[in-house]
Chains A and B, each alone.
Chain A
């Protein structure tokens, strides 16, 4: 039988994604191999390492049957994929943060707010639900510099430990969401290759549950 093609996210989630697939007994992946090869065959399955934002694109368009990607990427993506399982790792939060000495940090919401973010779709949805007068400024990196330079009043950004925020004198105002890695699947693949996709989901869920138990013990 033809194996599955699975898209893995490059970057911070990559090694954890490989670890979980290995722990679940689905694959034996050596993360270092992906430095030399774009796609790695493991048994019948093929794993490709792509940019995290490209994972939903590969999966929706049918380039891969399944993918692993952070929920934060799915918030931003308009791609239609099935979200099959919460894989638990890669936990981070999307928060609104402002300079420590700002009015916002004291709890005073200004009439109009300039927000720098790498997550414009999430930001639009978050602020639309709060009917605030917001000007979004989309940046592609180091958003914490925006308040320091006066470009924006605050940032809506991902934080895992809070260290980067603190180092830039920013404090969290409110949390917009919590993100973890997810298993996603192509719509048609879920139907036409239900056995394979289902088996992958079940194995990964079991591995996640075992980790939780091991962590609690």
Chain B
């Protein structure tokens, strides 16, 4: 190892950009497998797999993504001076495709995708700047059945991928803004409270409310955040004393959604969380986040975004979600401890037995066993093919006979 003094000054010589990762053999395979499991589940629910580009015009992204998230984009200039950006999420891309190429349906459209997204985070923060996301969009369905389907599908995909002990928190994007309106707060005070909630600063929420004359029932609810969570019963608690029609409507939608989730048989993993939302200018109805005790970050999130497609010239209700593959992988590894790399049988051979060794390796692969054949004679692999007659030595067991006999013997000795 070269000492720091001997290294040239300046950044990464033959190094890797900070916040980006190499995935070596075991983890890379597991990460791909996890993505495959997610996509398989999406497809099993009727969602068609599609691919969108890694790069979008900045204007396209700006049309769909809130300002705060735009600042975290990697941007660059095209040869004609147009600004491009690496995508920070892929829902906007899907919305663009639907509005421009699939606007004639047939609706509802069920679409899914998986791909890298990039965020220009501060270096050395321990955060990923490139991460893998897999997601679904259900477009052209305005009913709560669509929202329930997305929540149930997100949970099903995570469980199929091996993520254990998941918990889904379901909220409604219109509840808090509606509550603030019906509490009689003026626009300035409303914005102040929403901004404080958006940056998760509950101390500021409290002091912003202290300076207003919010009605008691509403004030009590707003201050109860973030404890406004639980099963269907919290909806009744929350509704008590509320006068505004807007927050009432949000609560009614959540009640219907809960019944649908019960029909999907997943309410044992669901909490209603009335304070769960942050992106009020993006989501328009029910929203959700998925957690596991094995991760400090949300593993997935989603919700209804009925206004997004209109920004691309096609009015259409939509709901969807995204799963963070890397965070899911972290969570699985944290629970399992170190995971072994996949098994590969090493086939070695004595001089003159190479052809028979290759034949054996082909036979193994056709039976779904990964096998690598030595490139030179004389190794000490898991399988030894001897030149003196047709003899095989498998994991210490000696066998005679044809390749088929050897494969049958292997079947007996392999785990």
Contacts and interface: CB of A to CB of B under 8 A. Distances in A.
A binds B: yes
A62 interface: yes
Nearest to A82: B200
Given A191-B167, A191-B273, A186 B296 contact: yes
Interface string A170-204: 00000000000010001111111110001000000
**SS of B interface (majority):** mixed
B59 interface: no
Interface size class of chain A, counting residues whose CB lies under 8 Å from the partner chain: 20 to 34
B226 interface: yes
A7 to B, nearest CB: 12
Given A62-B297, A82-B200, A83-B204, A190 B126 contact: no
A112 to B, nearest CB: 26
A182 B203 CA distance: 8
Interface stretch (B30-38, B172-180, B285-293): B285-293
A61 interface: yes
A86 B203 contact: yes
A152 interface: no
B200 A188 contact: no
Given A78-B122, A194-B229, A189 B169 contact: no
A100 B227 CA distance: 50
Interface in B131-155: none
B295 A62 contact: yes
Interface residues of B, number: 24
A184 to B, nearest CB: 9
Contacts of A85: 202-203
A81 interface: yes
B291 A188 contact: yes
Nearest to A84: B202
Contacts of A86: 203, 206
Contacts of A144: none
A57 B289 CA distance: 22
A82 B296 contact: no
A83 B201 contact: yes
Contact of A61 (B126, B204, B271): B126
Nearest to A83: B201
Interface in B182-222: 200-204, 206
B226 A190 contact: yes
**SS of A interface (majority):** mixed
Contacts of B297: 62, 187-188
A60 interface: yes
Contacts of A78: 122, 125
A89 B204 CA distance: 17
Contacts of A61: 126, 296
B298 interface: yes
A15 interface: no
Interface string A127-143: 00000000000000000
Given A78-B125, A191-B167, A192-B167, A83 B291 contact: no
Interface string B295-318: 111100000000000000000000
Contact of A83 (B203, B273, B289): B203
A19 interface: no
Nearest to B126: A61
A57 B124 CA distance: 11
Nearest to A85: B203
Contacts of B202: 82-85
A194 B167 CA distance: 12
A63 B297 CA distance: 11
Nearest to B295: A188
B201 A187 contact: no
B268 to A, nearest CB: 15
Contacts of B201: 83
A60 B206 CA distance: 22
Interface string A46-81: 000000000001001111000000000000001011
A189 B296 contact: yes
B203 A188 contact: no
28 contacts: A57-B126, A61-B296, A62-B295, A80-B200, A82-B200, A83-B200, A83-B202, A83-B203, A84-B202, A84-B226, A85-B203, A86-B206, A182-B203, A187-B200, A187-B297, A187-B298, A189-B296, A191-B167, A191-B169, A191-B229, A191-B289, A191-B291, A192-B291, A192-B292, A192-B293, A193-B293, A194-B226, A194-B227
Given A188-B291, A188-B295, 7 more contacts: A82-B226, A83-B200, A191-B271, A191-B273, A194-B227, A194-B229, A198-B226
Which 7 A/B pairs are nearest by Cβ-Cβ distance? A62-B296, A82-B200, A83-B201, A86-B203, A188-B291, A192-B293, A186-B296
